[in-house]
Amino acid sequence: MAFDPATLTFNEAGLIPAVAQDHATGEVLMLAWMTAEAVRRTLETRRATYWSRSRQAFWTKGETSGHVQELVEMRIDCDRDALLLTVRQTGPACHTGARSCFFTKVEAGEEVVEA
Amino acid sequence: MAFDPATLTFNEAGLIPAVAQDHATGEVLMLAWMTAEAVRRTLETRRATYWSRSRQAFWTKGETSGHVQELVEMRIDCDRDALLLTVRQTGPACHTGARSCFFTKVEAGEEVVEA
């Protein structure tokens, strides 16, 4: 069946959450948001392109930092309301310089930030 | 620093997305939603407990199916608006019987459902 991004389920803001996972290591790198058009652009260019909720603009990951995400595979969940991207990540995924945005863990009730 | 679920960033419905990842394989299993109370319950019971948006009720994963998720680790992203749970998954994670909810991939413009 031909894939049409318009058949995904978007929230009231027209967005769907997309999880980016490192193709090589399986590490979950980040969660960001896409519009139908961002999904289209990502598939067409093979560069992860999100929707920046703060800037209200398309955001091709790595456009300014060079830390691009090359799309390996896009997956849709059973409810069609979440996406999983496996990517080849250049440099760190997080704007803080961390490899993954999920660098804080909860351990015995405390927040522990990993180096 | 002590972790307080109330310090997370929730959407207008009071929810935060939580990605569940298989501890053993690294496979991304599903994306679901939590309230602050669901986060508390998950940490306290070590059983992933989500908020069902369709039923508007807490949903302890596997409560009826037995397909529980034992929490190994909870992580917070840099913006504090997404969670990553690594879990020990009993049985399939997806209500369809699939191991992961992300069993549909987009390949050359087509949707391909994996067995």
ipTM: 0.96
Cβ contact A76–B106 (<8 Å): yes
Cβ contact B106–A19 (<8 Å): no
Residue A15 is labelled as binding a ligand: no
What number is the average pLDDT over the span A94-109?
A: 97
- Bridge partner list, A22: A87
pLDDT tens for chain B, 115 residues long, are 999 999 999 999 999 999 999 999 999 999 999 999 999 999 999 999 999 999 999 999 999 999 999 999 999 999 999 999 999 999 999 999 999 999 999 999 999 999 7
Note whether B17 contacts A: Cβ–Cβ < 8 A: yes
Residue A25: partners with Cβ closer than 8 Å, 6 or more residues away: B26
- To probe the interface with B, which of A106, A107, A112, A113 has the most B CB atoms within 10 Å? A106
Read out DSSP for A92-115? -SSTTS-SSS--EEEETTEEEE--
Read out DSSP for chain B? -B--GGGS---TTS-EEEEEEETTT--EEEEEEE-HHHHHHHHHHSB-EEEETTTTEEEETTTTTS--EEEEEEEE-TTSS-EEEEEEE-S-SSTTS-SSS--EEEETTEEEE--
- Closest CB from B73, B76, B106 relative to A3: B106
Q: Where are the domains of chain A?
A: 13-113
Cβ contact A3–B95 (<8 Å): no
Cβ-Cβ contacts under 8 Å, B101 against chain A: 77-79, 82
Class for the domain spanning B13-113 = alpha beta
Euclidean distance between CA atoms A60 and B113, whole angstroms: 28
- pLDDT tens column, A26-75: 999 999 999 999 999 999 999 999 999 999 999 999 999 999 999 999 99
